[in-house]
Structure 1
Amino acid sequence: MDLRLQQPVAIIQRLCKPETNVTTANVNGMLDDLVTCLNNAQNQTDGLHTLTAICYELTSIKALKLLDNEHIMQHELFNILGRTLEMLLTKATFIPMTKHDEQCFYEASNLIANLCLYTKKPAACSCDDAHDELNLNYEQAINEISYATLFLTNSFLNKLARILSDDLSANDYEPYHVKYKVIGRLLCLCTELNNINHSVLIDPVVQCLRSDYYRNAYETIDLRQPIINSKQRFFIYLCPQFIRLRSNERNDEVSNSLCDSILGYGQQIFEQHLPIALESEAIVSSTNEKKKIFKSEPGAKLQALGWHIELLNHIALTPTARIHFLAGMLVFSYSTDLIAAYEITSTKRILIISLKLYDAAVLGTHQIIIDHMINIIRTESLIASVHENDELFHSDVHLVSCAITLLYNLTFENKILLLLKEKNLAEFCTKLHTAKQRTIQFASQTLSILLNQNNIDAIKYPLIMAQNYLFYIENTLHERSLVYNGVKLNGALTYLELMAQNDLIKNEIGHDDDGISLLVKCALDQQLDFETIQCPALRIIEAVSFGDEITCKKMSDDNKLMDYIKYLSNVDDSSLGPTANRIRWKVEDENKFISDKIKKELTPATLTNSYDANNSNNHQISFNYNWDLPSSKTSDMFDLIISYHHSDKDICSQIYERLTASCFYRISFDRERVHEILPDAMAEAIEKSSIVLMCFSSKYQQSYACRMAAEYAEKRQRPIIPMNLDELYCPTGWLNNIVASKQCINIVKYNLNSSYANLIQQIDNIKKQINIK
């Protein structure tokens, strides 16, 4: 060791011995001695050499423990360290660095990164390549004094931004150049820490991703590499990671700015690497003395491909950016269709040739990105691997997880969903349902339902699906970006609202220890988006309220939820008020209402042409609702109530008009959808009706307002006449449980006259039975 470095190194090593009792005064003294060593340096080179040695020794875990003290943080040594690193950042941007510069640049950045991350336990700044996701639950509190505030100043971040935008995005260096190592380390540090000004770095990082060096980093990956080099890691892992995790406030803008470049690079990247990766091709890496050939597996390629798909997935989270995926699909489809159309016309041979040349030049040389994702998830070797491994750092698992998550996110664009339905993914999605990794389970199960239009009540593994959705809701809530493993909170809620039509999923959510509380948090947290998070969460809570008694009891016991429901029930809120009313009815009011009806004999009430809101049990309403009654009828009892979904109002109005025109029947027909808003009004109307005509369709089954009425009629043992308004629709689940044993009238299969005659016959038969009783 250089004699000049023996003294500072000896000071550090003496205090770092395990048996040494070190006080703050001892550490301050040590740091004073180190500053003295620096001040006695003969020149700048000597000073950099000494500081390099100091940084190297202080980076050890034992030394970091000594420095984890806010009084120590104020020492002059750390001011020197911060100024030196800023100076080296500026020099690295504009001036060639000496060997001593580079050594100090490397060690100083390493010490600073570890000091900023260290919290009473070892913290490695340079994230292990095997672990992709950063632990963003860690957040070092930045008080008045901390290493983060000391080093990561606006001046430092601006210098870091300058070297990104003016140097690394514009100039090329050797794969293991110190700049890629140090700037990558500092970018990783900025990604991990929460309370810093990330916005300064967003545009420079975007420049790096849009540069040719991002694509070139992929071009240089080969099968001989067990791991990627520093340059590749900087461009294809650290820069995308920063954008995915730290561009939250500008996600849409950043995704749209990256879209064309990254999608364009993607075509070239997949062409070069995917065939080798999927076919598990290997190339000669070495031979031994016996001339035996050793071959390399495509691990590095799979890892790198997964990172690129993650970036594509981040872009796909933005609705406007998803259009770019669609455009590629439409161009491919359009050109292929034109060729097919013109090939049948012999006089258009020239055009056929020109189109084929265009297709070969622009499209035929590569598949569209979505087809690449499909090829990944249908590869048998990868399917087998994800059933054996569940760690995301496993390259096979990571690749399949990224690919199927990208397909999942693209389904939020309706036109892409329609195109994906033509791809026949059912078999491969089904194979992935039992994969060990949770994201693969979640995305494959969801895709099966969406792409194959499966019956919601026939979902495979509904309990696992419910748990997976709750898992992602919980984890996305913990992230500032509200995104976890490529799954966005608002997207998970959108599809859970669909899946929650399955009664097993409802009950699993209700029985889960945290299921209802997670939904309540989404519905009540005012910092979350009202339209895309709070409203869907409340509608899912409505779905869950149709669960069993255990579920309703847990909801009733949740004071925050019920206080919010009661608040919404008593305000004039057209968007959430009706939903809140139905939740309150299912959780609290329905059983009490039925119990009261059973205990006492009903006293006939006068029903006027206008519904009196003051007589409603619970709610105030700010406008008039009318029940259609024949003016000649003054009785408050009905022969029939028509239960229907508002989308089927036209056909149901025709039935109502024919029934009332005969003057033989008193009909309750809720034109203004009062029963959807006021459940007690619905219940009173059914109580006053002898028969329930249930005009059902697929929309009827999906409506919780319709289910509320149908199940109330069933509980009160009212005679039900089911009428199917769509002959192609077959009821399932709760609706099938009600109508399966009854004689159903199919109004489409037969003409209206025939269906009407059947209806009259059933009404009269039921009335006769009632009169006999």
Structure 2
Amino acid sequence: KKNVKHVFVRGAFLDKLIRDIKHLATSSYAANEQRYKDAAQQIRVCSNEETNAVQPLLNPVITCLTSNDYLNVYKKIIVNEIKITKSYLPAKHLFFMRDCPAFIIQHDFKRQDEVAASLGIEILKKAEFIFQQNASYQNENQDNKKTRSIRNARIEAFLYYIKLLTHFSMAPCVRRGFLENTLIDEIIRILESETAYNLIDKTVNIKRLLVMQLIILLYNLAFNKQILSLLMNKNIINLCLRLRLIKNEMIQYISEALIIRLKPTRIDGIVNPQSLTKFCMEYLEISVKEPRRSYQGIKLNSMLRVLEIFLGNDLVQKAVIEEKEGLLNLVKCACVVSVDNANWNTIKKIRLFSLKIIWKLLSVAPALSKKLKSNDKFVDHLLTFVDVVSPKEKKIPSRIIWKLGDEETIRLEQVEKKKQLGKDDHRDDTDVTSDNQLSSIEPWDDSVPFDIIMSFSDDSSEKSLCRKIYNQLKKSEKKVYFEQQGKHRLESMKKAIMKNKLFLICLSTKYRTSKTCMAEIELAFRKGCPIIPIIVGKNFKLKGWLNHLIGKRETIDFKQNIFDDAFAQLITEINKIKPSD
């Protein structure tokens, strides 16, 4: 089912949707025109897809949000008379205000700096007019059914705009733009007027959603030092003290975060630290799945930054330590991978903030070191991390290693574990669950649609890493042909190569001196197989006949880089290559 869905949003479907979106960006129709409904529905489907699959939609959607019709729908708010959904707005308004922005929010993270610098700045320029439009409904004194509908439609439209503005407020270039206008004063004014209402009305409604979105916007802006200083002089703390009484976990978290950032001495005044900690941990668990993407308008690195500050409260410390999945979620954050070169700085911040939090927890709860030391992935990450980061950045991971024990001893223990796993080479093929053990080997079978052929030397010190890569590829639903050394190996590999499959070369010094490996790669080269070279041997240098065959192909180094980073890069390269029939 997943594969069918994946195919559905490609090819003809995606091409037609791109044409439709481009057409709607340049052609205007009636407010409830079916074209808007159809395109909006299809965009919503694509919003839930993997970013790589729907990346071609990004530019057409950006074109819609920079078109005249985007501002025009805000200039003329229309109440949807045929109210089938919960929305007060017609199809055209929803297409431009809700569905196109929702796609941007979900899928621009690989190009976030570029999109923020262009589209984000354009959206900010429209703020003064849209804020004025919103202010007009607040001055209406009449209270009848028609007036309420118009008012709700305007609030809904304003809410969609604030969501998009909040998304772009995570970019430094957009934050700086707020220093050039009076929007911060207007945000505070709206929050002041709506907070009293929300404290009285306990129900979840559109006004509460607006308050939540505005306070998230203020939270993101406060990561600019000048704006933070500006907020210190605007009595925001008193506003936040009232906001945190609203029964909404997000509003409570944001309020506490702003209070502590504006006045650190209030750290012991956090209300309900257990609930606050649980909210943070749940957020980490969700966000770590795609750490570069924001969740509900908040980025993972900013949440970790605030959580580190919260740890100054003893009750928050205690709650994090006692939280069932607390340490595990922090370890996941500390081991996040860089899937490609995009957003590397964000990934780096997530890792460092996570390690800072773990270090603080170890300082107050040394017993946690046993749990951390038993997590081989985390230990491997630490040992690699201290070797590749700058001297300044390695201070925290080095301290954590010191807490876990003697660094040399830990490194030797990790080597011994890998040697022990290497003994599995001589066992019969069985299904096992360890990443370093080889799950069941599948012989070449013409009826089986293998995606990848792995070519490697028979050196036991390298084979353990090759097995780990093989197992991870299988977990990623890749069909991998992994031929063991033996008298029939070359014959079996020839059959596989003749199918013109992707050829994964596991490079090492032993590989370079192996006649069998040389024969395999030469045959793959002659048959035109797509080739991805990866380095699995220590201190390997590409030279000689291998350099001649591989040429300018980029290698992925599994020995110098963190395994998860290298593997994520490998998956990216594999996905770039169109499978053969």
Q: TM-score, normalised by structure 1?
A: 0.48
In structure 2, relative to structure 1, the CA distance for the partners of 1:197 and 1:453 (3 Å cut) is same
Alignment match of 1:417 (pick from 214, 225, 228): 228
Q: How far does residue 491 in structure 1 lie from its aligned partner after superposition?
A: 1.2
> Aligned equivalents of 1:429 and 1:500: distance in 2?
20
**Identical pairs, percent:** 29
Question: How far is the alpha carbon of 1:498 from its aligned partner?
Answer: 2.3
Pairing 1:185–2:38 present: no
Structure 2 distance, partners of 1:387, 1:492, is 29
DSSP 3-state at the match of 1:174: coil
Deviation at 1:234, TM superposition (A): 0.5
In the alignment, does 2:348 pair up with 1:531? yes
Residue of structure 2 aligned with 1:582, choices 399, 402, 411: 399
Structure 1 residue 224 displacement after superposition = 8.2
**1:270 corresponds to 2:131:** yes
Distance (Å, rounded) in 1 between the aligned partners of 2:388 and 2:13? 52
CA contact (8 A) 2:97 2:160 kept: yes
Report what 2:190 is aligned to.
Answer: 376
Secondary structure class of the residue paired with 1:379: helix
Is residue 245–residue 481 contact of structure 1 (8 Å, CA) maintained in 2? no
* Cα distance in structure 2, aligned partners of 1:485 and 1:541: 25
Deviation at 1:557, TM superposition (A): 5.3
Alignment partners' CA distance in 2, 1:281 and 1:554: 62
Say which SS state the counterpart of residue 169 (structure 1) adopts: helix
1:29 is matched with: none
Q: Report what 1:326 is aligned to.
A: 179
SS in 1 for 2:247: coil
SS at the partner of 1:298? Answer: helix
Whichever residue aligns with residue 10 of structure 2, its letter is T
Matched to 1:323, the amino acid is R
1:244 to 101, 105, 109: 105
SS in 2 for 1:435: coil
Q: In the alignment, which residue of structure 2 is the partner of 1:544?
A: 361
Whether 2:2 is the aligned partner of 1:141: answer yes
Q: CA deviation at 1:515?
A: 0.9
Q: How far apart are 1:617 and its partner, in Å? A: 10
- 2:10 corresponds in structure 1 to 153
Separation of aligned partners in 2, 1:441 and 1:302: 22
Q: Name the SS for the 2:126 alignment partner.
A: helix
Q: How far apart are the structure 2 equivalents of 1:410 and 1:438?
A: 20
Please say which of residues 233-242 and 424-433 is displaced more in the overlay. Answer: 424-433
Q: 2:330 aligns with which of 516, 519, 525?
A: 519
| CA–CA separation in structure 2 for the residues paired with 1:147 and 1:578 | 46
Asked if structure 2 preserves the Cα contact closer than 8 Å seen for 1:252 and 1:318, the reply is yes
What per-residue deviation string (whole Å, max 9, x for no partner) do you get for residues 510-560 of structure 1? 111111111111112333745211111111100111224665565455554
| Matches for 1:187-586 after TM superposition, within 5 Å | 187-194=43-50, 197-221=53-77, 227-277=88-138, 281-282=141-142, 284-285=144-145, 296=149, 298-328=151-181, 368-380=182-194, 383-384=197-198, 388-390=202-204, 394-479=205-290, 481-527=292-338, 529=344, 530-548=347-365, 551=368, 554-555=371-372, 558=375, 560-562=377-379, 564-565=381-382, 574-586=391-403
8 Å Cα contact 1:190-1:196 kept in structure 2: no
Deviations 1:473-497 (A, max 9, x none): 2221234643110010111122222
Distance 1:532 1:188, change over 3 A: same
Structure 2 contact 194–211 (Cα < 8 Å) conserved: no
Aligned residues: 401
Give the AA of the match of 1:158: D
Greater RCO, CA 8 A, separation 6+ = 2
Q: Please name the residue that 2:426 is paired with.
A: none
2:21: which partner in 1?
A: 164
| Code of the aligned partner of 2:175 | R
The answer as to whether partners of 2:116 and 2:174 remain within 8 angstroms in 1 is yes
Q: CA deviation at 1:438?
A: 1.9
Displacement of 1:218 = 1.9
Q: 1:259 to 1:238 in 2, by over 3 A?
A: same
Q: Is the 8 A contact 1:386 1:437 kept in 2?
A: no
Distance of aligned partners of 1:553 and 1:501 in 2 relative to their CA distance in 1, 3 Å threshold: farther
Aligned residue identity for 1:266: A
Q: SS of 2:159's equivalent? A: helix
CA distance in 2, matches of 1:384, 1:285: 21
Pair 1:383–1:445, CA change in 2 (3 A):
farther
| Structure 2 unaligned blocks of 5 or more | 413-581
Task: Say if 1:296 and 1:502 are closer, same or farther in 2 by CA, change over 3 A.
Answer: same
Matching residue's letter, 2:314:
D
Letter in 2 for 1:516: L
Shift of 1:192: 2.0
Q: Deviations along 1:683-734, whole A, 9 cap, x unmatched? A: xxxxxxxxxxxxxxxxxxxxxxxxxxxxxxxxxxxxxxxxxxxxxxxxxxxx
Amino acid at match of 1:434: L
Looking at structure 2, the residues matched to 586 and 383 of structure 1 have their Cα atoms a distance apart, in angstroms, of 51
Equivalent residues of 2:47, 2:106 under 8 A apart: yes
